[in-house]
Amino acid sequence: MFGRKRRTLARAESIVGQQTRIVGDISFVGRLHIDGTVDGNVRALGEDNAVLTVSDSATINGEVRVPFIILNGTVVGDVYAREQVELAPKARVEGDVHYALIEMAMGAEVNGKLLRIVDPDRVPLTLNDRSVETAQ
C-alpha cells in the first residue's frame, strides 16, 4: 500500500509454529514469523531490514522492538518499530505503539498510545534502554 515495497513472509528464516509456546525472550536477525505464543520480549538484532510478522493466531506477551512489523495477531506490551508498523485487520495491541511510519487497516485495534518516532536512529533495539524520543 502507499507505493512502498511490501515485505512478505516468503523468506522467513525462523518460524514459531501455531502449536508452539515459547517462554523467554527471542532475539533474531532477518525475518521471523510467529504463529504460536511467545511469553517474553521479541527484538531484532542490529539489522535495519529485519521483519517480524505475527499471524492472526499468534500472541506475544512482552515488548517488541524491530525495524519492521506486520501484525495481524495480538501483542500485550509496547511495540517499537523504527521504520514501519503495518496493523492488519485482526491486529490487537494492548500497549503503546511507537512508529516512524504506520499503516492501519480497518478493524485493527490499539489500546494504548500511538507515538510517532521523531528520530528513528535514536530508538534503541535493546530492551533495557526505554528512552524513546517521540513527538508530542
What are the tens digits of pLDDT across the range 38-54? 999 999 997 688 999 99
Q: What pLDDT sits at residue 46?
A: 78
Q: Where are the beta strands (DSSP E) in the chain?
A: 14-16, 21-23, 26-28, 31-34, 37-39, 42-44, 51-54, 59-61, 64-71, 74-76, 79-87, 92-93, 97-104, 109-110, 114-116
Is pLDDT of 37 > 60?
yes
What are the tens digits of pLDDT across the range 67-115? 999 999 999 999 999 999 999 999 999 999 999 999 999 999 999 999 9
Q: What pLDDT sits at residue 12?
A: 75
Q: What pLDDT sits at residue 102?
A: 96
SS (H, E, C) 55-70: CCCCEEECCEEEEEEE
For cell 509456546, name the residue. 21
